[in-house]
Structure 1
C-alpha cells in the first residue's frame, strides 16, 4: 500500500544534511539537477500515483540509507529519532524493558504510528510497553529487528492516515523501502565505544543484488553487531552496607546498581525480490532477526534479604537474559487487468521473546534453589495479513468531472498474542526465610497464561481529484470490523493542496481515526517481584500484579472492559521554494484522542486497610501492588513542524547543504477518568499525575535539528547538532516531581572515498559528552541519576568505519 498520491519533493526530503549524497534513485536524480523540485520517490504498491514532495498534499520526510549509516551507534529506531524533529527516542533503564525502545511521534507513543515495509503492514512485537515514558501497554513494532543494510530509504508520512491504512496510523506512517538493485553491493565494518570505555560496539554489514529472470532482481542483505553493556548509575551512599566484614566493606566499589544498556548480540537478514512474467509480476520479501540481551540489575547485597550465603556469600547481580526471534515473510503478485492495476499479497510475521536468567536464585528455596533459570516467561505475537488493492486513473468519471485516481482495497488481518508459563522453581515460595521468586525477573505462572485471537476485516476507497492544474483534493474512507468487543468503525479523511503561486502552496487535512485496544492491553497478566514507584516517585521493592481490566480483581478495584480509542485530526501547511536551491515548509497539526489507554497508577494499601481488604476478598496476598489498563484520558495534541533547506556552492571548494528542522509540540489532558467508588476512601488515585506526566511532560515540547553537510570531491563532512527541550517526570504527589533541562547534542561524521569504492569514516555522536540533568529521585543505592531523558544518557561515543562498494 503506497502512500496515496505520494508527491515527494525536496521540500521535506531535505529535512537533513546530505540527503542528495546517497546512492538511491531519488538521490541520483538530485545530483544531476541543482534544483530541489525534481526529486522523485519510488513508491511501492499500486494505490495512488507517484508525485514529488513539492506537490504532496500531506507532509512527508524521506531518510536515505546514507543518512542512516551516518548516525553512528544508533539502531534503526534511534536513527529515525536523530533525523526527524517530531520523533523522540525513549531510553529505558530497567533490565526487563531495556531492549525494545519506545519511539514517539508528535509526543504520541509508538502505538499511534503505523509501520510498513515496502508498503505492507509490519507485524507488532510481543511485549507491551511498560516503564520509562510509555505505559500504554501496546505492543509496538520492533523495527530494530530489520537490518539497516537492507534499507534503501524510509518514507515518513507525518499526518494521520487511519482512514487509509487503518488502526495505528493516528499520528502517521513509517514506510521502510528495501533495496531493489540487481547488481553490485556494499560491505562495511565499524568499531566504536563510549568515552567511558563501556559499550564497545562491533558491526558488520553487507548487501548484494542479483539478476532474477528477465528484468527481475533478488537483493540480499545482512548485518550483525555486538554491543557491550554500559551503566550510568551513581554509587551507593554511606548508609548502605554490603558486608559485615569491615575489610570487605572497605574494598567494596559501592556499585549497587548496574541498570543501563544491556550486553547485546544481534543478527538480521533480509531479502527483497521481484520477477516479471508475461502478464504478472511476482514479488516477495522477508526479514529475520535474532537478538540476545543480557541485562544486569540491582546488587543483591550479602546483608540483604535476597542472598543465600551458601550459594552467593558475596551477593550477586541477577541477570535478565532476553532472547528475541523475529521474522516476516510476504509473497504477492501485481499486474494490470481491464485498465485496472491490481496488487494481491499475503504475509505472516511472528515475534517471540523468551526470558531466562543465567545467574540468579529463588532465595526462598535456600540451598535447594537453582542458580540459573532456563525458562521464566515467553511472549509471542503473530500476525497474518492479506491484501487486495486496485487502482485506475480516469480522465473523467462522468461528463464534466475532473480527472480522478480511484483506489480501493480489502484487507483481512488475523493476530494472536500468547504467553507461556516458566519453570515453577522461578516463582514458588519456599520455606527459607528470604525473598521469594527469581530476582529481578518477570515470570508467567500457568494461571496467567493467555492465548488471544482476533480477526479484522477492512475495506477502503480513495479518490484523488485534480480539480484544476493548481488544486488537488483527496478523499478517503475506510470501514473496519473486529470480531471481538472492538466492533465496527468508519474513518474519513480529506486532504488538499492548492498552489497560490509557482513557488508557494498551501495544504491541509481533516480526518478521523480509530485504534482498537492491543491484545497485550486486553489480556496480558503477570506477577513480578521487581521494583515499583510509590506515590512520591520513589523506587521501592514491591510485589506487583498486572491484571486484565476485565478480571474479577480489576473489577473489584474499578476496572472494566477496554473501549477503542477514537481520534480527530486537523492539519494546515505551507510550502515555499523561493529559489532553486532553497525550500521551506511549515505544517501545523491538532490531534484529539478520546479514551486513551494507559496503565493505572500503582494501587496498593496506603495504611488504611481498604486495598488490602479488597485483595483478601479476591484471594490475593495482602500487600500486593496492582495495575490494570484503562481508558483513562481524553487528550489534545497541538504542534508545528518547520523544515528549511539551502545549498551554498563554494566554487572550487565544493558545496555546503544547510538544513534546519524544528518541532513544537504540546499535549494537554482534556478529561480524566475519576477514581472508582471502590477506591474512594483508600487514598489511591486511579490514574494520577504520574500517568498524566507520561503524556504531557515526558517528551520535549521543542526539538531543533541544525545540520551542515560539506562535500568536496571525495571528502564529505557531516555536522549536526540537536537541541532537546526540557522534560519532566511527574509523581502522584507533586513533591516527587523532577525537571530535566534542555540539552544540545552534537554529532560529526568525516569520510573520504579512495578509488571511487573504498570509504574510510571517523566520527562521534555526542561529541562533547553532554549528559542529562542529575535530578532523579534520590536513591541511596545510586539509581538512575538522569531519570528517563529523551536522548541516550551514556555520553559521548566515537567510531571508525570502513566501507567498500562494488
Structure 2
C-alpha cells in the first residue's frame, strides 16, 4: 500500500562527500539483522497508508510523534469560505500568517509566513515529494526577501485529502529550506466515489463576487491500483478598500472637470481573477514494484488595477486619454508539475525512486496604458512587458529498513538514507521595445504601472544541488525514542559542502504525558532570484518617512559593479541553528494537548536594502554617474543584512464532548507566540552614511520584527448533530507595526478578533447545502497608515484580509 512519510526524509538527498559513509553504514547494518518488522508507532510521526488515511486525517494534533505535527483535513479546508489554499492554512493554524499584499502586480501571489519566518524557510511537499518554486519574487508589503517560493494556490483544493504540517526546523532531514518546518500536502487516493461542489459569495461591501466549482472522482486501476482525478475553477471580481483623494489633489486644470471628478485616484486591492487547476494521483502495483505518478496543471489570469494617471500629469498624453486613465496590468500564470516513480522492497530494504519536473511561467501584458514619452505614437496595449520562468527537476532515491538488534546494540534501529539531485533555473525575458524605449515627447518613460524587463536586465540563472542524508531512529526503551540525522548538500555555485545535523527525541513520562525536543543546524543557499534578479521600473517607492512617492528604481544584483559601489558584495549562504522543547498530553482518545517552544537563529539572513537615493547633496548621484546610471535613480539590492533570533511557543488543544441526542461538539484551541529580534545588522558604508543614506534601515528590520503579530489565538467549536454541522471559529491577531527608516513614519495597528461561521445540512446522505461567512462581524484593521492624499492603503499591511466581511453559499454532492 502507498506510504507517505513525513517522519523521515521522503526526499532523495543527493550524493556528495558523505555518500560513501552513508552507503558503508547502510551496508554494515544490512548484515546485522534481516528483520523488517514495522517500527513502533512513535517513529511514524505522520505515516499515512491508504487504509488509515481517513482516520489519521481527522486528528488535529499528533501526540505520539517526536516532533510537533498538525493535521488539516479537507473538510476543514473547505469550511474556510472564499479563502484559497494558502489563506486557508493561515486561518486554521496559529503559527501561520497570510500577508495582505496589495502591491500591484504582486497581489496575486501572497507570502505565507510560518513561525515568523518567510516562505523561503518552509519546505512544501506533495505526497512527500518536493514541490517546485514559483516564478514570482517576494517583494512588497511585509516580505522583501526576494525569494521565489512555492505557490500552493496552484494546487486544486479538490485534490487534497489532508495536509500534514511538521512544526519543527528540519533542514538536516528534509532540505536546507526546511528551517521553519515542512508542509506535506497529501492527495486523495480513493479508487471509487467522488465529490462535486459549487459555491458563490461576495464581500459585505458588494464587491469581490467569487464563484467556485470543484470535482474529484476515483477509479480502479489494474489489480489493486487507483487513479484519482481532481479539478476546480474559480472567478473572483475586483475589490478595493482604498480611500478617495483629498481636496489638495488636482487631476484637472479645468475647474469644471475637477469639480465633477469622483476623486478615485487609486484602485489597488484584490485584482479580478480567473483560474483553474487540474490534478491526478495514481498508483499501480506490478509484481514486486508499485508504480506511482501524480501531477497538477493550472492557469491563473488576473487583471490588476493601478494608480490613476492624471490628465494634467507627466504620465498622460491628452490626445489619447484626455480624461486620464487607469492602466491595467494583466498577468497570465501557467504552472505544472509531474512526478513519476516506483517503490518496493529489495534485499530487505524498502526503496523509493522518483523523478519530478515542475515549471511556473508568469507573463505580463497591459491594456489602457501608455509609454508617455512616445507621445501620440504610443501603443495603448502592450502584449509583452516581461516574462518570468522558474524550472525545477528533482531526482530522488531513498532507502529505509528496520533492524531489531544491529551490531548487538540491544535496541531496534530504523535506518533511512538517500540521495538527491536538484536542477533549478530562473529566467527572465525582455518585453517589447515600445514598453521601455525613451521617446522625444516630454513625459514619463515606459509603460505605466508595469514591471518591465529590458534586454540588459534579462537573466538566465542555473544551479545544480547534490545531497545525501543518513537518518537513524532508535527505540531505546518502550518509552524512549531518539533520532539522529545528518545531511550534506553541495551547491555548484558555492564552494564547499554544507552540513546539517539534527537530534530529536521523545520520552513518555507517563502513559498520557510525554516530553520531546530537537536540536539542529542547517545551511541555506540564496535563492537564484536573490542572487541574480535585476530590473528597472518607473512606478513608486517608499521614502525614509514611509511616504509612497514616484521613483525610477533599479534593482541590481548583489555582486554587480553598481551594488559594490554602493556597499554590496556577493551573497553568502544563510546558516541556522534551532532548538525545540515540548510536552504532549493525551488523557483519553477524545482529548489531546501539545505545547512546543522553539528557538531559531539565522546568520547572514538575506533582505532587500532600503532604497538608496540622493538626498540633495550629490553623493549618490556622483556614484550613479560613475556607473553610467542616470542621476535621480533609486537603487536597491539583496544583501546578507541580519543575524536574527526567533523565539516562540505553539499550543494546540483538541477535545470532543458527546451530548448524546444533541450530538458532539469538537472544541479546539490554537495559540502561537512568536518574537524575532535583530542580533546584528549590516553597517552602512562610511561614504554613504556621511551623506545620510541608510543601507539597511528600520523599515527592513520592521519587516522581520514588527510586521507580523507576536500572538495569535484560534478558538473553534464544531457541532455535529444529526444532519446538521455548524462550525464557529474566532481568531485574535495581535498588534502589528510598520516601521520607517525615520521613526516619525512608524505606524501601529491594534489587535483584532475575526469570526467565521459555517452551517451546513446534508440531505439524503449525499447532498449538502452550506451557508457561511468570513469575518461575519465585518471587522477592519485600524486606519493608521501613513497619510496619503491619494487615499492609498488606509489600513497599511494588516495580518488579515482588509476587505471586511463576506458571505458564501455552497452546494455539494458526494457519490
Residue correspondence of structure 1 range 322-333 to structure 2 within 5 A: 322-333=331-342
Change in CA separation of 1:700 and 1:30 when aligned onto 2, cut-off 3 Å:
closer
Q: Does 1:610 align with 2:619?
A: yes
CA distance in 2, matches of 1:163, 1:507: 18
- Alpha-carbon deviations, 1:374-401, whole Å to 9, x = none? 0111000100000000000100111143
Q: Does 1:737 align with 2:746?
A: yes
- Alpha-carbon deviations, 1:645-682, whole Å to 9, x = none? 11111121001111111000000000001012331322
Match of 1:473 among 466, 482, 488: 482
- After TM superposition, which residue ranges in structure 1, 4 or more long, deviate above 6 angstroms? 6-9
Partner of 2:159: 150
Partner of 1:434: 443
Partner of 2:7: 4
Match of 1:227 among 226, 236, 247: 236
CA distance in 1, matches of 2:679, 2:55: 48
Partner of 1:583: 592
Does the CA contact (< 8 Å) of 2:57 and 2:73 recur in 1? no
Does the CA contact (< 8 Å) of 1:242 and 1:302 recur in 2? yes
Q: Does 1:85 align with 2:94?
A: yes
Match of 2:103 among 78, 82, 94: 94
Q: Does 1:568 align with 2:592?
A: no
Partner of 2:19: none
CA distance in 2, matches of 1:291, 1:610: 45
Does the CA contact (< 8 Å) of 1:486 and 1:516 recur in 2? no
Match of 1:678 among 667, 671, 687: 687
Partner of 1:173: 182
Match of 1:558 among 562, 567, 571: 567
CA distance in 1, matches of 2:496, 2:609: 24
CA distance in 2, matches of 1:701, 1:789: 13
Does the CA contact (< 8 Å) of 1:90 and 1:103 recur in 2? yes
Q: Does 1:349 align with 2:380?
A: no
Match of 1:489 among 498, 502, 505: 498
Q: Does 1:639 align with 2:639?
A: no
Q: Which range moved further: 480-489 or 763-772?
A: 480-489
Does the CA contact (< 8 Å) of 1:486 and 1:517 recur in 2? no
Does the CA contact (< 8 Å) of 1:24 and 1:153 recur in 2? no
What secondary structure is seen at the aligned counterpart in 2 of 1:522? helix
Q: Does 1:365 align with 2:374?
A: yes
Does the CA contact (< 8 Å) of 1:558 and 1:677 recur in 2? no
Partner of 1:531: 540
Partner of 2:283: 274
Partner of 1:380: 389
Partner of 1:425: 434
CA distance in 2, matches of 1:253, 1:741: 31
Partner of 1:394: 403
CA distance in 1, matches of 2:593, 2:534: 49
What secondary structure is seen at the aligned counterpart in 1 of 2:410? coil
CA distance in 1, matches of 2:712, 2:441: 53
Change in CA separation of 1:579 and 1:334 when aligned onto 2, cut-off 3 Å:
closer
Match of 1:709 among 718, 722, 730: 718
Q: Does 1:451 align with 2:454?
A: no
CA distance in 2, matches of 1:210, 1:647: 34
CA distance in 1, matches of 2:579, 2:57: 32
Match of 1:597 among 586, 592, 606: 606
Partner of 2:470: 461
Does the CA contact (< 8 Å) of 1:61 and 1:155 recur in 2? yes
CA distance in 2, matches of 1:591, 1:720: 30
Partner of 1:211: 220
Partner of 1:20: none
Partner of 2:84: 75
Partner of 2:665: 656
What secondary structure is seen at the aligned counterpart in 1 of 2:70? strand
Match of 2:274 among 249, 265, 268: 265
CA distance in 2, matches of 1:588, 1:472: 19
Shift of 1:523: 0.6
CA distance in 2, matches of 1:393, 1:451: 44
Partner of 2:247: 238
What secondary structure is seen at the aligned counterpart in 1 of 2:358? strand
Partner of 2:315: 306
CA distance in 2, matches of 1:29, 1:298: 49
Does the CA contact (< 8 Å) of 1:24 and 1:64 recur in 2? no
Change in CA separation of 1:511 and 1:30 when aligned onto 2, cut-off 3 Å:
closer
CA distance in 2, matches of 1:715, 1:351: 41
Partner of 1:49: none
What secondary structure is seen at the aligned counterpart in 2 of 1:196? coil
Does the CA contact (< 8 Å) of 1:12 and 1:62 recur in 2? no
Shift of 1:427: 0.8
Shift of 1:305: 1.2
Q: Does 1:110 align with 2:113?
A: no
Does the CA contact (< 8 Å) of 1:167 and 1:513 recur in 2? yes
CA distance in 2, matches of 1:142, 1:461: 30
What secondary structure is seen at the aligned counterpart in 2 of 1:569? strand
Change in CA separation of 1:24 and 1:108 when aligned onto 2, cut-off 3 Å:
farther
Change in CA separation of 1:293 and 1:30 when aligned onto 2, cut-off 3 Å:
closer
Change in CA separation of 1:348 and 1:5 when aligned onto 2, cut-off 3 Å:
closer
CA distance in 1, matches of 2:298, 2:423: 22
Does the CA contact (< 8 Å) of 1:63 and 1:154 recur in 2? yes
Shift of 1:4: 2.4
Partner of 1:17: none
Partner of 1:48: none
Shift of 1:486: 5.8
Shift of 1:2: 2.3
Partner of 1:45: none
Residue segments in structure 1 that go unaligned for 5+ positions in a row: 14-22, 32-38, 42-51
Partner of 2:730: 721
Match of 1:512 among 502, 512, 521: 521
CA distance in 1, matches of 2:101, 2:365: 19
Does the CA contact (< 8 Å) of 2:355 and 2:396 recur in 1? yes
Shift of 1:306: 0.9
Partner of 2:701: 692
Shift of 1:249: 2.1
Shift of 1:25: 4.6
Residue correspondence of structure 1 range 706-785 to structure 2 within 5 A: 706-785=715-794
What secondary structure is seen at the aligned counterpart in 2 of 1:380? strand
Q: Which range moved further: 613-622 or 395-404?
A: 395-404
CA distance in 1, matches of 2:293, 2:616: 60
Does the CA contact (< 8 Å) of 1:486 and 1:564 recur in 2? no
CA distance in 1, matches of 2:676, 2:351: 41
CA distance in 2, matches of 1:367, 1:114: 50
Change in CA separation of 1:490 and 1:794 when aligned onto 2, cut-off 3 Å:
same
What secondary structure is seen at the aligned counterpart in 1 of 2:785? coil
Shift of 1:210: 0.7
Partner of 1:57: 66
CA distance in 2, matches of 1:387, 1:379: 27
Partner of 1:629: 638
Does the CA contact (< 8 Å) of 2:7 and 2:45 recur in 1? no
Match of 1:800 among 777, 791, 809: 809
CA distance in 2, matches of 1:94, 1:336: 51
CA distance in 1, matches of 2:232, 2:523: 36
What secondary structure is seen at the aligned counterpart in 2 of 1:267? strand
Partner of 2:628: 619
